[in-house]
Structure formats: C-alpha cells, structure tokens
Amino acid sequence: MSFIESMQHRYTTKNFDASKKIDPKKIEELKRILQLSPSSINSQPWKFFFVTNTDKKQQLSKVSWLNTDKVLDSDQLIVLSRINNISLFEEQIENELPKGAVDYFKEFIKPLSQEEILAWFDRQVYLALGVLLSACAEMGIDATPMEGIEPEKYNNILGLSDHATVVAVAIGYRDPEDFNQPSKKPKSRRDLQKVIETI
C-alpha cells in the first residue's frame, strides 16, 4: 500500500475491536518514531506516555468526555504532554542542545509571557502528533486523536507535575462495523485546489 493509500485508509476511529492487539514490535517502533519527531530548535519540550494499565485506562476513560469507549477498547492510549516547568526546560536545553539553539530560545522565546512560552511548547507537541498519526497510518494501526479530554484530571491520574497533558491518542484496530471508516462513510475533504496553491 502506498503512503497516499495509507492516508486514504486512515480515519478517526470511533469503535475499536478490543480483542485485537498491536504487535509489541510495532509499539516499540512508534516509541522510536515519536522520539524522532521534529521540533523548533530541536527543543523536544515533551514526554509521551503509553498507557496499557487497565486500571489507569479505566480512570482516564471517565475523564475523556465522549471518548470513554475509545479509551477502554483501544489497545493503548498515548498521552502527549508538554513540559510545564520553564526553569526545568531551560536546564534541559542548556545540557542537551548546542549554543545556537539555546541562544535562539533566550532571544526569541524567553522574553515572551509564560502563557506564550507554554503555547509554544504545545505547538511542538502537535508536530509530534502529526508524525504519530502519519506513522500509525503507514503501519496499518488505527488511531483516534482526542482533545475531548480533561487534561488536569489526566495529569492527576498520571501523577504529572513537571509536564501537562496536551492531547491523547487511542490506538488499536478498527471494529469491522465502525460506521466512520471510509468504506462506510467516504472521507470528506475540501477540494485540492481550495487548500493547495503553488506560487
């Protein structure tokens, strides 16, 4: 299957087949792919949690609004978080990034308000989200990105202090009867000419 075909096949899964499990080797590949995600100045202001623990999934499902069943029936829930402690982030980049990247942060990002800096961190996490969803499509893994969750409660359940939940992704395999899959509900996108312009 070509990458275009993989992307046409992927969709936001509404119903997972809880009996189907993802090959552990594929899970390890996804972890490595997330590690390789791009970020501005290679900042990597994130941490990713692969949740398989039944009790944790049960707790998280209760604070996932309309996504309860997706959390419960998925093979795994991936929680994408951003660093919440700016001082800790500065320490991280001082130790791990080249001087040019650190200088960029100090000149262009650090002068911003705390809210703006955290929003910049969030945007880096969304780059990783795009990579994750594309990787899942290519690997034949179904996925549901979810903003419809209660981030603060996710943080409490996962015991996060220096990181904050941004978005979660349920992964697994579609239920054959899932009404939202392209074979039952054709994919709807705006015309190519309306969203792409060559200049």
What is the residue extent of each domain of the chain? 3-195
For 15-38, what is the mean pLDDT? 98
By the 10 Å C-beta count (0-12 exposed, 13-18 middle, 19+ buried), 25 is classed as exposed
β-pairing, 76-83 vs 46-51, is antiparallel
| Assigned CATH for 3-195 | 3.40.109.10
* Nearest-5° Cα angle at 127, 108 to 96: 55
For 60-88, what is the mean pLDDT? 98
Tokens of 91: 């320490």
d(CA 144, CA 86): 30
The pLDDT, as a whole number, for residue 22 is 98
Q: Give the model confidence (pLDDT) of 81-138 as tens digits.
A: 999 999 999 999 999 999 999 999 999 999 999 999 999 999 999 999 999 999 999 9
Residues 122, 129 contacting (CB under 8 angstroms): no
Kindly list the distances between the CA atom of residue 15 and the CA atoms of 71, 95, 173, in Å, as whole numbers in the listed order: 10, 43, 9
- Asked whether the whole model's pTM tops 0.85, one would answer yes
The pLDDT, as a whole number, for residue 28 is 98
